[in-house]
Amino acid sequence: MQGRGISRGRGTGELLVSSEPISFLSGVDPETGIVVEHGHPLEGQSVTGKVLVFPHGKGSTVGSYVIYALKQNGVAPAAIINREAEPIIAVGAIIAGIPLVDRLPPEFYKLPSGSRVTVNGDTGEVCLEEGT
């Protein structure tokens, strides 16, 4: 499926899908990669090694540095997919070297968590792995 590449690189992993935006500042623990935002649909789940799918970011610009800290601590997502990337998530993904793609076709966002994909941030392409 073709989208828009925002942050370069390739990442492969299982989808972790949220219908709600994510605030990385105080929403995701940078030491563990666990979503800690109370009441968030992904609360208690780890983003580590996943292809994290959510509509867009929310909250403070410090969220960019939390994404970078996730990478530095070895608990970052393998890639990020947004419906519409905004500057906080884009900057975080770029400085952390995490592939980021947005604007995929609507049918992509119907894929369930656990589906395995490869994200190519260079081309904006996302490929569903066989057997998922």
Residue 91: C-alpha distances to residues 17, 87, 96, 99 (Å): 21, 6, 8, 11
How far are the Cα atoms of 78, 85, 90 from residue 3, in angstroms, in the given order?
17, 11, 15
18: annotated active-site residue: no
SS3 state of residue 122: coil
Residue type at 46? S
Q: Which residue type is seen at 108? A: F
List 18, 60, 113, 115, catalytic entry: 60
Give the residue numbers annotated as catalytic, written as ranges. Answer: 60
